[in-house]
Amino acid sequence: MTDLLGNYKLVLGLEIHIHVNTKQKMFCGCDANIYDAEPNTHTCPTCLGLPGALPVPNYEAVKKTQLLGLATDCQLNTNSKFDRKHYFYPDLSKGYQISQYKEPLCEHGKIVLSSGRIAEIERIHLEEDTAKSKHENGKTLIDFNKGGMPLMELVTTPCFSNIDDAVEFAKMVRDLARYLNISEADMEKGQMRIEPNISLRTAEMERLDELPPYKVEIKNINSFRFMEKAVKCEIVRQRGILETGLTPEQQNRGYDENKNVTVAQRSKEEAHDYRYFPEPDIPPMIFSEQYIEDIKKQLPELPAELAVRLATKYQLKETQIFELIKSENKDLVQKLEELASHNLDPVKVANLLLNKLEYRNLSTEAFIQQYNKDNETMDDADMLTQAVKKILAANTEIVDQYKNGKESVLNFLLGQVMRETKGKANPEITMQLIKELI
Ligand SMILES: [Zn+2]
């Protein structure tokens, strides 16, 4: 990446949008399972923005946003409210979007990355999604199913100085959303979208902690790979402009994955262009300290906490822990704990559950039976090796005779091992072992 940047340093922040998996849309009763639906079949006067229709906030979406806030070390605001954000675009039915500007639900969080560096979260707020436009044969078609879907937006500070950290962070947010059952966060279905904002500065500016006078936001990226590619080609573009002595324009751009370039969209608005004001149809939300305490209690054990517990309580290997803390492996952790409580070796059990699919569906009893059987043969192999080593050590002269070419002595050694193991050893395997160990 230093090649890409030349003498410049990267300043990168992320906005991550995630559909909250509620039953209904954000401010109306429409069914929120829109993903395979015919266009415009999940709409009503409220999400179409018809005159006189009133929004009613979806509490499930509020609570799930607060859960993500707690899981990312945010402060939950006791006073929060919705605001209107105005702009004109065909996919916005009311001419404004109900979002949160001042007093978002969550603020000032962080996630610790694997490098030990800290990704700072500025805020997590809740809003309604816009509709989806489709451009076809010179016409624009609009599907309002997506309009009014509950959408949480997580905004980081411009805290990333390399792409890998940013990608890792975005993946951690996705995993957390899944883990907490806040969203399936399937990027192909548009349930999660990433918007990196990018600018470059000199090493001197970095030293003085001075931000560049512009930033470029890349809209609606729907895969981690595209995010990485988009940031890289934006670095190259901005560096080209900076090296001619100019400053890149503050704007929104889109990523064209076919050409691997970013393309200018509209010039980026400042907050005052949106004419934010408090949404008059929704009263402010006030949360008591007691309420926040109660939500905290509902928070399950988080992946990072689980990782520590798996390491300290069961001494699992790092690679095992890495797999087990994934949201899709929740059931395996439960099984592991159950089996470990029956005095089975947790490392061996984790190994079987992760690597041998046939073990996953066994009942606890059947698992223990199979486990003991496997271990017996394992133990036998160990015992046999010990016996062979013992006989070889006790018969060094005979071993020397073999080494001098007298192969018939092998049978004598085999006989000795058979006697040692009281006839239990398998002669073929024993003979093989003798030849290996001699
Ligand atoms: Zn509706």
Residue 58 CA, ligand 1 centroid: distance in Å = 12
Average pLDDT score over the chain: 91
pLDDT at 155 exceeding the cut of 80: yes
CATH class (in words) of the domain with range 301-361:
mainly alpha
Residue 191 CA, ligand 1 centroid: distance in Å = 18
d(CA 74, CA 145): 31
Residue 69 CA, ligand 1 centroid: distance in Å = 26
- Per-residue pLDDT tens for 84-101? 999 888 889 999 999 999
Residue 32 CA, ligand 1 centroid: distance in Å = 9
| % of the chain surpassing 70 pLDDT | 97
pLDDT at 104 exceeding the cut of 80: yes
Q: 316 pairs with which residues across the strands?
A: none
Residue 150 CA, ligand 1 centroid: distance in Å = 11
- What residue ranges do the domains of the chain occupy? 2-296, 301-361, 366-438
- What pLDDT, on the 0 to 100 scale, is given for residue 330? 84
Instruction: Write the single-letter amino acid at 99.
Output: S
Residue 149 CA, ligand 1 centroid: distance in Å = 9
- What pLDDT, on the 0 to 100 scale, is given for residue 427? 78
Residue 18 CA, ligand 1 centroid: distance in Å = 19
- What pLDDT, on the 0 to 100 scale, is given for residue 432? 84
Residue 431 CA, ligand 1 centroid: distance in Å = 77
- What pLDDT, on the 0 to 100 scale, is given for residue 208? 94
Residue 91 CA, ligand 1 centroid: distance in Å = 15
pLDDT at 286 exceeding the cut of 70: yes
- What pLDDT, on the 0 to 100 scale, is given for residue 382? 77
Residue 53 CA, ligand 1 centroid: distance in Å = 10
**Token pair 């309009």 is at which residue?**
147
- pLDDT class for 281, splitting at 50, 70, 90? very high
Residue 128 CA, ligand 1 centroid: distance in Å = 11
- What pLDDT, on the 0 to 100 scale, is given for residue 403? 87
| % of the chain surpassing 90 pLDDT | 62
| 396-403 and 409-420 helices, crossing angle to 10° | 150
**Token pair 């223990």 is at which residue?**
368
- Nearest 5 degrees, angle CA 140-CA 185-CA 135? 10
Count of C-beta atoms within a 10 Å radius of residue 273: 12
Q: Which residues, in sequence order, are CB contacts of 82 under 8 Å at separation 6+?
A: 57, 98, 99, 100, 126, 278, 279, 282
- What pLDDT, on the 0 to 100 scale, is given for residue 407? 86
Q: Contact 170/227 with Cβ under 8 angstroms?
A: yes
H-run or E-run covering 96: strand 96-99
Residue 278 CA, ligand 1 centroid: distance in Å = 21
Residue 24 CA, ligand 1 centroid: distance in Å = 8
Antiparallel, parallel or unpaired: β 216-219 and 251-256: parallel
Cβ-count burial 118-157 (b if 16+ within 10 Å, e if not): ebebbbbbbbbbbbbeeeeeeeeebbbbbbbbbbbbbbbb
- Per-residue pLDDT tens for 198-236? 999 999 999 999 999 999 999 999 999 999 999 999 999
Instruction: Write the single-letter amino acid at 127.
Output: E
Residue 419 CA, ligand 1 centroid: distance in Å = 83
- Confirm whether 301-361 and 366-438 share one CATH topology: no
End-to-end CA distance of the chain: 54
pLDDT at 2 exceeding the cut of 80: no
Q: Which of 112-121, 325-334, 372-381 has the lowest mean pLDDT?
A: 372-381
What is the chain's percent helix, strand, coil content, to nearest 5? Answer: 40, 20, 35
Instruction: Write the single-letter amino acid at 268.
Output: K
Residue 356 CA, ligand 1 centroid: distance in Å = 47
Mean pLDDT across 29-38: 94
- What pLDDT, on the 0 to 100 scale, is given for residue 109? 97
Residue 2 CA, ligand 1 centroid: distance in Å = 49
- pLDDT class for 428, splitting at 50, 70, 90? confident
Residue 55 CA, ligand 1 centroid: distance in Å = 9
- What pLDDT, on the 0 to 100 scale, is given for residue 271? 62
- Per-residue pLDDT tens for 233-275? 999 999 999 999 999 999 999 999 899 999 998 665 666 688 9
d(CA 63, CA 17): 16
d(CA 2, CA 197): 19
pLDDT at 285 exceeding the cut of 70: yes
Residue 27 CA, ligand 1 centroid: distance in Å = 7
- What pLDDT, on the 0 to 100 scale, is given for residue 429? 80
- What pLDDT, on the 0 to 100 scale, is given for residue 118? 96
- Per-residue pLDDT tens for 47-82? 999 999 999 999 999 999 999 999 999 999 999 999
Mean pLDDT across 340-352: 88
Residue 41 CA, ligand 1 centroid: distance in Å = 10
- What pLDDT, on the 0 to 100 scale, is given for residue 269? 62
CATH class (in words) of the domain with range 366-438:
mainly alpha
d(CA 197, CA 311): 37
Q: Which two tokens stand for residue 319?
A: 């690679």
Residue 97 CA, ligand 1 centroid: distance in Å = 14
Residue 387 CA, ligand 1 centroid: distance in Å = 76
- If we measure between CA atoms, which residue out of 170, 223, 222, 243 comes closest to residue 7? 243
Residue 400 CA, ligand 1 centroid: distance in Å = 89
Q: Which residues, in sequence order, are CB contacts of 224 under 8 Å at separation 6+?
A: 167, 170, 171, 187, 194
d(CA 51, CA 57): 18
Residue 115 CA, ligand 1 centroid: distance in Å = 44
| Alpha-carbon separation of residue 312 from 48, 181, 336 (angstroms) | 53, 26, 14
Residue 217 CA, ligand 1 centroid: distance in Å = 30
3-class secondary structure, 220: coil
